Amino acid sequence: MTRAELEETAQALVADGRGILAADESTGTIAKRLASVEVESTFDTRRGYRELLFTAPDLGHYVSGVILYDETIRQNAADGTPFPEVLRRGHVVPGIKVDTGAKPLALCPGETVTEGLDGLRERLAEYRGLGARFAKWRAVIRIGADMPTATCIEANAHALARYAALCQDGGLVPIVEPEVLMDGSHDIDTCELVTTAVLRRVFDDLHTHRVVLEAILLKPSMVIAGRDSDYPAGVEEVAERTLHCLRRTVPAAVPGIVFLSGGQSSEQATAHLNAMNTGFGPHPWTLSFSYGRALQDQALKAWRGAADNAEAAQRILVRRAMLNSAACRGAYTGEAA
Ligand code: 13P
């Protein structure tokens, strides 16, 4: 892919009020999700659940791309069509998670660094051959007593930049995902300070590694109070603080910012995105979604592993995607719509 093609792909992923479905749960994480609805995780149940998601009628009206996992990109629909082809036929671009997970960061108790750089060039080439046109790497930053350390921020920003450069060299658009976790009792001020420090370092390192900002997407967490905070913030405050932080840290050259949901409820994630697209002045990037749980949770609960529930689950998924698409235009008017 030429640089122009990478830029076109990045722009297309956030065009027309569409966003991304993150369906790249690792084998361990999808097992937890399936267990929550009493479904055993096997090669076949994982495949069946992902087929339900990818074949939902009209998903492509609201979803531009789907992030797959290594196992999933190699799986087929029941009729034998490889999942990347199923997605392409539905006007959805296949993407792939390429990190190998957040591992304990040496000498920094409680913190992690995301691994997966070894052999990444070769893996990217293989994934491109399997149909992927964009990739994802998630760095995890935890807020706590004496956390995050500068060591953790530096190590993760460096890995994100190396990954992003390798992606662009290999013809894939990198989604750069530094997630500041919602876990903890911190207030929204602390989240804003940490998120600002993380994004500053990430863009410094992207610059150092010559990453073309016009051909990436940023996938940040929102600026939000910790899950156990005594001072939860309202929808407007989350939107205002998040935009305040992003304006100060994210260059206008970046075409799109696609938020993760990070444990917010489906309704909250949609309301926050909508608020950011409604007020608080102009911003240079398109603001959209790359939600995992906030798109899938309601559909997963409706399905519960029963074939008879599959169509209803698909309708619920597509409706959730439609509401988030409305939020991309600031046109979400609540759940009743
Ligand atoms: P959530 O929206 O469930 O946080 O997942 C998004 C994602 O891709 C995390 O890496």
Give the model confidence (pLDDT) of 277-324 as tens digits.
998 888 999 999 999 999 999 999 999 999 999 999 999 999 999 999
Cis peptide before 255 (omega within 30 of 0): no
CB of 49 sitting under 6 A from ligand 1: no
CB of 262 sitting under 6 A from ligand 1: yes
Given a cut of 70, whether residue 337 has pLDDT beyond it is: no
Non-local CB neighbours of 265 within 8 Å, separated by 6+ positions: 294
pLDDT interval class at 1 (50, 70, 90): confident
Non-local CB neighbours of 282 within 8 Å, separated by 6+ positions: none
- Supply the pTM of this predicted model: 0.98
Given a contact cutoff of 8 angstroms between Cβ atoms, the answer to whether 72 and 100 are in contact is no
Strands annotated E in 45-114: 63-68, 93-97, 102-104, 112-114
Q: What is the pLDDT of residues 90-131, one digit of tens each?
A: 999 999 999 999 999 999 999 999 999 999 999 999 999 999
Share the mean pLDDT of the chain. Answer: 97
Residue nearest (by alpha carbon) to ligand 1 atom 4: 262
Question: What's the angle, vertex CA 6, arms to CA 121 and CA 219, rounded to 5?
Answer: 80
CB of 293 sitting under 6 A from ligand 1: yes
β-pair partners for 113: 103
Determine the atom of ligand 1 nearest the C-alpha atom of 291. 2
Give the Å distance between the CA of 259 and the centre of ligand 1.
9
Q: Which fold has domain 3-328?
A: TIM Barrel (3.20.20)
Given a contact cutoff of 8 angstroms between Cβ atoms, the answer to whether 162 and 121 are in contact is no
Q: Which of 255, 124, 97 is nearest to 179 (CA)?
A: 97
Residue ranges per domain, the chain?
3-328
Burial of residue 259, with CB atoms counted within 10 A of its CB: 0-12 exposed, 13-18 middle, 19 or more buried? buried
Phi, psi (rounded to 5 degrees) for 258:
-120, 110
Give the Å distance between the CA of 220 and the centre of ligand 1.
10
